[in-house]
Amino acid sequence: LFNAVEMAPRDPILGLNEQFNADSNPDKVNLGVGVYYDDNGKLPLLECVKTAEKQMMEAPKARGYLPIDGIAAYDSAVKNLVFGAGSDAVKSGRVATVQALGGTGGLKVGADFLKRLSPNAKVLISDPSWENHRALFTNAGFVVEAYPYYDAARRGINFDGMLTALNAAPAGTIVLLHACCHNPTGYDLTAGQWDQVVAVTKARQLVPFLDMAYQGFGAGIAEDGAVIGKFVASGQDFFVSTSFSKSFSLYGERVGALSVLCSNKEEADRVLSQLKIVIRTNYSNPPTHGGQVVATVLNTPELRALWEKELAAMRVRIKQMRTAMVQKLKAAGVKQDMSFIEQQVGMFSYSGLTKDQMVRLRSEFSVYGTDTGRMCVAALNSRNIDYVCACIAKVVG
Ligand code: PMP
């Protein structure tokens, strides 16, 4: 049966991790990861999560199946977080939200639903994008193409190119947009640029699909979510996937969601019924623990305040690492202007280093980033940053 099965190519990031784990250099640094580490280089366990789990353990519950769309209190907390508590979108019942297996699960449920709804639509993702976007939508049966995004020469966004591509897309094209903290580049659109994108997707009748995997890591929860408000105000129907992997440091619990803004409640009810079929036929219903933790935190005012504080601390630490990196690269003798690192937002930096330079960083100095030059700023800390900057200075000359 399996004679003809080919070996699939290795996941490039996992391959990098394996190489890193096998490296015996005590100074090794892994900047290839997509996770937030604290200043001790450890994956944090947030206090708000610990407290919620303690409360849950004090009143243990049997683990029956959850509803197909997940915990009701979780779905409503997600709606309030993404669209704003008390917002018209939420109050009018126009949002269909389902609990999903991480942000990836939200994207996949959305992709499978869209495939049934618009089987011939094309999907446009940014160039470059999170590496799983293309594979996920391709595996859902779509033809996936890219719109220009990163402008290496300008160290920023090729916004004209992006707008031109969106303007040329046929009606019904699904456009995947990073709501904030673009992965992998770290470059986000300005508020004014978002206004233009919103206007184009509306005028061209495109289907916006916002991937919000880092809400709170850019400028703040409300600030990062502002783009959702722009799409709501424009009167378009659209999709939002949410991930709590980073913002709650709950990577392995697989907590995320898919929300679909519809024209009215009756439409949202019909959409929800279809999302439930997608879920039922894939994995039946979501797991209990992570969703319960997040729902408890988001729906308990003191825990919610604690979460916002802890999330802000992660955001601030990343910003400090960006500032320190710019200063330390300069001090280490890097001549070129690296201040763009401070302008980027979120966990990642497109460093502008070439593939050769990234390979040298790995092979000569045990500093691991992806060949594209992407580095995880959230994996830098006060102990490894000097070493990393000194090594980068050596390879960029
Ligand atoms: N979208 C983007 C842009 C991401 O960077 C990630 C995670 N790296 C995801 C989605 C997936 O998130 P999750 O781990 O919650 O599935």
Q: Which two tokens stand for residue 321?
A: 């690492």
**Prediction pTM value:** 0.97
Q: How far is CA 210 from CA 1, 174, 241, 327, in A?
A: 40, 10, 6, 34
157-174 exposure pattern, b = at least 16 Cβ within 10 A, e = fewer: bbbeebbebbeebeeebb
217 close to ligand 1 (CB < 6 Angstrom) = no
pLDDT band at 15, cuts 50/70/90? confident
pLDDT band at 90, cuts 50/70/90? very high
* Residue 242: pLDDT over 80: yes
183 close to ligand 1 (CB < 6 Angstrom) = yes
Average pLDDT over residues 267-289: 98
Q: How far is CA 310 from CA 36, 66, 83, in A?
A: 12, 29, 22
- Provide the percentage of residues in the chain whose pLDDT is more than 90: 96
- How far apart CA 84 and CA 257 sit, in angstroms, is 15
Q: Which two tokens stand for residue 272?
A: 């929800």
Kindly give the distance from the C-alpha atom of residue 204 to the centroid of ligand 1, in angstroms, as a whole number. Answer: 28
Q: What are the pLDDT digits (tens) for 345-360?
A: 999 999 999 999 999 9
215 close to ligand 1 (CB < 6 Angstrom) = no
**Hey, is 202 helix, strand or coil?**
helix
**Hey, is 348 helix, strand or coil?**
strand
Measured distance between the N- and C-terminal CA atoms of the chain, rounded to whole angstroms: 54
Q: Do residues 319 and 313 make contact, with C-beta atoms less than 8 angstroms apart?
A: no
Mean confidence (pLDDT) of the chain: 97
Average pLDDT over residues 146-175: 97
- Strand 156-157 with 174-178, pairing: unpaired
Residue 340's pLDDT is 95
- Strand 207-212 with 374-376, pairing: unpaired
Angle in degrees, CA 369, 13, 290, rounded to 5: 115
Q: What are the pLDDT digits (tens) for 170-201?
A: 999 999 999 999 999 999 999 999 999 999 99
Residue 287's pLDDT is 98
Q: Do residues 142 and 311 make contact, with C-beta atoms less than 8 angstroms apart?
A: no
The residues annotated as belonging to the active site are 130, 211, 246
Kindly give the distance from the C-alpha atom of residue 8 to the centroid of ligand 1, in angstroms, as a whole number. Answer: 21
Residue 335's pLDDT is 93
Residue 204's pLDDT is 98
Residue 14's pLDDT is 80
- Ligand 1 atom at minimal distance to the Cα of residue 129: 3
Q: What are the pLDDT digits (tens) for 376-387?
A: 999 999 999 999
Average pLDDT over residues 88-98: 97
Q: How far is CA 283 from CA 66, 70, 244, in A?
A: 12, 12, 20
* Residue 13: pLDDT over 90: no
pLDDT band at 9, cuts 50/70/90? confident
Q: Which domains does the chain have, with CATH numbers?
A: 12-45+304-396 (3.90.1150.10), 65-299 (3.40.640.10)
Q: How far is CA 72 from CA 239, 266, 293, in A?
A: 19, 18, 13
pLDDT band at 343, cuts 50/70/90? very high
103 close to ligand 1 (CB < 6 Angstrom) = yes
Mutation to probe ligand 1, out of 129, 224, 243 (largest number of atoms < 8 A from CB) = 243
Q: What are the pLDDT digits (tens) for 302-336?
A: 999 999 999 999 999 999 999 999 999 999 999 99
Residue 32's pLDDT is 93
- How far apart CA 39 and CA 144 sit, in angstroms, is 38
Query: For the purposes of burial, counting CB atoms within 10 Å of the CB of 5, is it exposed (0-12), middle (13-18) or buried (19 or more)?
Result: exposed
